[in-house]
A and B are shown apart, each in its own frame.
Chain A
Amino acid sequence: NAGVTQTPKFQVLKTGQSMTLQCAQDMNHEYMSWYRQDPGMGLRLIHYSVGAGITDQGEVPNGYNVSRSTTEDFPLRLLSAAPSQTSVYFCASSRTPGGNTIYFGEGSWLTVV
């Protein structure tokens, strides 16, 4: 049981490049979400999904796209990277929204130069 798996762990991008952060969970959770963590701030919600085929925007969605074609996978796409997107990204999953236990991935450190 791997829990929530994120890849890559580290990535450096040039401004304007695109990339996809991968997130997979093996717990058959319906609810998945992406957060970013910046110094001195709490985690902020980027996008979330309540099930396959259903996604919605969170607090800071600009510059990011998501899709949910399967229950297991929830990739986050950066369309045209900007230095302001330099951050640590966490994927999370739970059985229900705000479910008792929310599992986080190990994080993806992204630097945009």
Chain B
Amino acid sequence: KNQVEQSPQSLIILEGKNCTLQCNYTVSPFSNLRWYKQDTGRGPVSLTIMTFSENTKSNGRYTATLDADTKQSSLHITASQLSDSASYICVVSELGGYNKLIFGAGTRLAVHP
């Protein structure tokens, strides 16, 4: 069964610190992998999208990596800010048909002053 697992479930860090969120997937055939940020009470907003041939992509202080061989991805947040407090969702697209999206349950990040 195609699955996307994220860890940790939740994380608390101090403002200014870095953190890394993990995503493991079993989706096959693979099309692309996305990271979304979801603020409390809001819809998900796209951070990055990576295809099979890409192993890193940055969006400001967010850097995503992809290892298609081990089916792992990470999202690294540098110099965290209070506004980074949100859920971060890993989404893997299955190649073919309507390119079905398989969502992870998310990592809830809290940045404290």
A contacts, CB < 8 Å to B: 4, 31, 35, 40-45, 48, 50, 56, 90, 97-98, 100-102, 104-107
Q: Tell me which of A43, A90, A98 contacts B99 (CB under 8 A).
A: A98
Once the chains bind, are A98 and B105 in contact (CB under 8 Å)? no
Once the chains bind, are A104 and B101 in contact (CB under 8 Å)? no
Residues of A contacting B104 in the complex (Cβ-Cβ under 8 angstroms)? 42
Residues of A contacting B31 in the complex (Cβ-Cβ under 8 angstroms)? 98
Q: Tell me which of B34, B42, B98, B102 contacts A106 (CB under 8 A).
A: B42
Interface of B is mostly: strand
For chain B residues 54-75, which have a beta carbon within 8 Å of chain A? none
- With A98-B31, A98-B93, A98-B98 known to touch, is A42 a contact of B4 (CB < 8 Å)? yes
Pick from A4, A42, A50, A90 the residue with the most CB of B within 10 Å: A42
- B73-96 vs A, CB cutoff 8 Å, 1 = contact: the mask equals 000000000000000010101000
Q: Tell me which of B32, B45, B98, B102 contacts A104 (CB under 8 A).
A: B45
Q: Does B100 contact A (CB under 8 A)?
A: yes
Once the chains bind, are A90 and B43 in contact (CB under 8 Å)? yes
Once the chains bind, are A43 and B32 in contact (CB under 8 Å)? no
Once the chains bind, are B105 and A42 in contact (CB under 8 Å)? yes
Q: Specify the chain B residue showing the minimal Cβ separation from A104.
A: B43
Residues of B contacting A106 in the complex (Cβ-Cβ under 8 angstroms)? 42-43
- With A42-B105, A48-B98 known to touch, is A107 a contact of B42 (CB < 8 Å)? yes
Q: Does B49 contact A (CB under 8 A)?
A: yes
Cα distance, A4 to B45, chains bound together (Å): 12
Pick from B31, B42, B43, B89 the residue with the most CB of A within 10 Å: B43
- With A42-B89, A104-B45, A107-B42 known to touch, is A97 a contact of B106 (CB < 8 Å)? no
Q: Tell me which of B46, B93, B98, B103 contacts A42 (CB under 8 A).
A: B103
Once the chains bind, are A41 and B49 in contact (CB under 8 Å)? no
Residues of A contacting B41 in the complex (Cβ-Cβ under 8 angstroms)? 107
Nearest CB of chain B from residue A38's CB, rounded to whole Å: 10
